[in-house]
Every structure is written in structure tokens, then in C-alpha cells.
Structure 1
Amino acid sequence: MKLVSGRPENTEGRLDKEIRVYDFLDSLGITYERIDHEAAMTMEACEEIDRTLDAAICKNLFLCNRQETDFYLLLIPGDKPFKTKYLSAQIGSSRLSFAKPEYMEKYLDITPGSVSVLGLMNDHENKVQLLIDEDVLTDEYFGCHPCINTSSLKIRMEDLTGKIIPALGHEPKMVKL
């Protein structure tokens, strides 16, 4: 695995949704580093990627209420346990659970294992509320997938909070878990 700067030179065989991420980041003038790797489906698989990136990769959890009418994307440190009751109390939504993959695809154009804050660029109807655990913001760099789990990006936290999130048009709600 090798860390490289910016978008791939050869985009052949890459999905449109991944290319849209690079176009989006480039349009904002964001500098980022990228690593290509085998599909990373678990936090354990992400550990080696984390070491190469030298950035904190957080868990990205796609959640919904019991009625499946409210959807949330929660960014939480990878090593922090997630307990729904603590989150439910802070956002005023009981009975949170993981949302079905079809909602993930419908609103974020992402499949399980590829969930990323960058998927919010595909949520044109603003159906998904961005929730960020305050501990995510303590690192200098942020690691995430470009809407596909065979690459990972290293982005400055100040670019995430100062440029990317505002451009996504999803006002984040800070939570403490």
C-alpha cells in the first residue's frame, strides 16, 4: 500500500461516484492523499490502512428511527463503543437502529462498507442529518473512503470542517458519546 497525492491518474475501472468525490474535493481546492487497497469491510481491516494514512479513521454509522423516516450519519472514533441510548437522548429520537442498505444507496449512493461523510454530496434532498462525536474533531487529519471501500483518503481536519462540510450543505449536529 502506497500513499499518493490527489486523484488517480488513470480512472479506468473506477466508479462514477468515486470520481465525483475527487471532482468535488478538487473544486474546493482541497489537498488530500490517497491509498488504494483491497476492500475494507471491517474496522480491523482499516487498522493497517490507518497506519499507512497516519490519520484517524472513524466509524461512519448510517442510522434511522424505527419509522424509517429520519436518517442520520454518525461520525464516531473507530475505537469508541456506540450505545444508541446516549445518542437517542441527544438528538431526541428513540429507537435508533442501523438503516437498511437500500436507504444508504438511495440517499448517499453508497453501499455497506463504504459509508463516508463524502456520501452526503449525493443527498440532494437533505434527508440525512450529519452527527459528529466531538472526539472526531481532535485529530489533525481525517481518514475516509471516497464513497468506495477500495480507496481511503487523508484530509486535513480543518478542510473537513471549514470547507467540505459547509459545501455539502448538511449542518452538523455535535454529540458527545
Structure 2
Amino acid sequence: MTENKPRTRQDLLAFLDGLGIAHTTKDHAPVFTVAESVALRDEIPGGHTKNLFVKDKKDRYFLLTVEENAVVDLKQVHTLIGASGRVSFGKPEKLMEYLGVIPGAVTALGAINDTGNDVTFVLDADLMRDDVINCHPLSNDATTSIASADLIRFMEATGHKPLVLKVTS
């Protein structure tokens, strides 16, 4: 695989603009956990996300994007997403290689960096009922708000067909 430099927030926002996708981005102090980002809720409406980067026994990678307070049963989720056996968390090196982000900045918008289609993106059905989804724009010092339908359009434009499944309890 050739080493590609990950796309930046500016690249991402330009890509969204090129697709005619409306988005707003709000800068804030870096947040590494859902707990740290709770303070932003009043300022940023819509569904806020938690992202789980996992792999199965065959080293296939998945990004599960769910509502921030949702619970994912990691012992059972493989049966829902088509993984081989139980999943475990992917390593930070793979996160950077495939999605171009560091832990704490994981985002469905990382699909823009997955040029080899190495990751299966799973969007929780409950989250997708929100009109607006909030994701990091490849860094954890901002939040980008995008319509849920446009998130799917964006993913398809990056060559991904996200699975919209109920993966939370």
C-alpha cells in the first residue's frame, strides 16, 4: 500500500462543498471522550456520536458510529455487522492508516481517507433518525454538523456503502 498523507479538515470541508452538502463546523477545545464533549451540547444541536473502531478475527475493520450515550454489546455486535467472530478494538496505527485520525478524533467522516475501502462503516439506525449528525472533521478540536441523509451521500461519494443497522441496546 502506498503511504498517502491523510486528508485534512480543509480537504474534507472542500469535498463536502464540492458535493453540495450543507455543513457547519464549530471550533472548540480538543475533546478526547464523550464525557469531555458533553459541555458542547447546548451549543451544537443534533445527534452526537461515539465511534468504535473494531476488527474481527479475519482482520477486517469496522467503524461503528452510534449516538454518544448508546450501549454497544461488543460480545454480540459481530452477529449484526457480519464480522467473523467477536470483535476487538483496532490499533491506533490502523486508525491512522485507514481513517487518517488519532484516537479521540475518530469520525465517520474518516471515510474520506479510506481510499482502499479497508473499513466497513456501520451507522446505527437509532442515530440516523436524527436530522443532523455531529462528527469530528478529522480532528477533535471541532465538530461538523451534517444532515443524516448527507452523511450517507458523503460516504457513497468516498466509495463506501455504509450499513445502517441497529447495533445498540
- Whether TM-score is above 0.5 comes out as yes
- Asked whether 1:170 is paired with 2:142, we answer no
Question: Any idea what the Cα deviations from partners look like across 1:139-172, whole Å, max 9, x if unmatched?
Answer: 11100010000010111122212x2121121111
Partner of 1:26: 17
SS at match of 1:51: coil
> Which of residues 69, 72, 77 is equivalent to 1:82?
72
Separation in structure 1 between the aligned mates of residue 29 and residue 103 of structure 2, nearest angstrom: 15
8 A Cα contact 1:146 1:153, kept in partner: yes
Q: Per-residue deviation at 1:71?
A: 0.3
Separation in structure 2 between the aligned mates of residue 160 and residue 40 of structure 1, nearest angstrom: 22
Partner of 1:5: none
Sequence identity of aligned pairs in percent? 30
8 A Cα contact 1:50 1:56, kept in partner: no
Separation in structure 2 between the aligned mates of residue 157 and residue 123 of structure 1, nearest angstrom: 20
Partner of 1:156: 147
Aligned length: 161
8 A Cα contact 1:65 1:95, kept in partner: yes
Query: What runs of 5+ residues in structure 1 fail to find an aligned partner?
Result: 1-14
Change (3 A) 1:85 1:175: farther
Separation in structure 2 between the aligned mates of residue 59 and residue 105 of structure 1, nearest angstrom: 17
Partner of 1:117: 108
Question: Any idea what the Cα deviations from partners look like across 1:82-126, whole Å, max 9, x if unmatched?
Answer: 211231111242121110000000111111011111111111110
Which residue identity lines up with residue 167 of structure 1 in the other structure?
A
Separation in structure 1 between the aligned mates of residue 24 and residue 91 of structure 2, nearest angstrom: 31
8 A Cα contact 2:76 2:86, kept in partner: no
Question: Any idea what the Cα deviations from partners look like across 1:41-96, whole Å, max 9, x if unmatched?
Answer: 110111122321112111111111245x2000111111111211231111242121
Separation in structure 1 between the aligned mates of residue 158 and residue 37 of structure 2, nearest angstrom: 25
> Which of residues 77, 84, 90 is equivalent to 1:93?
84
Question: Any idea what the Cα deviations from partners look like across 1:1-36, whole Å, max 9, x if unmatched?
Answer: xxxxxxxxxxxxxx9611111111111111111111
Separation in structure 2 between the aligned mates of residue 58 and residue 134 of structure 1, nearest angstrom: 12
> Which of residues 54, 60, 81 is equivalent to 1:63?
54
> Which of residues 121, 127, 131 is equivalent to 2:118?
127
Query: What runs of 5+ residues in structure 2 fail to find an aligned partner?
Result: 1-5
TM-score (norm 2): 0.89
More helix by share: 1
> Which of residues 119, 138, 149 is equivalent to 1:147?
138
SS at match of 1:84: coil
Partner of 1:138: 129
Partner of 1:48: 39
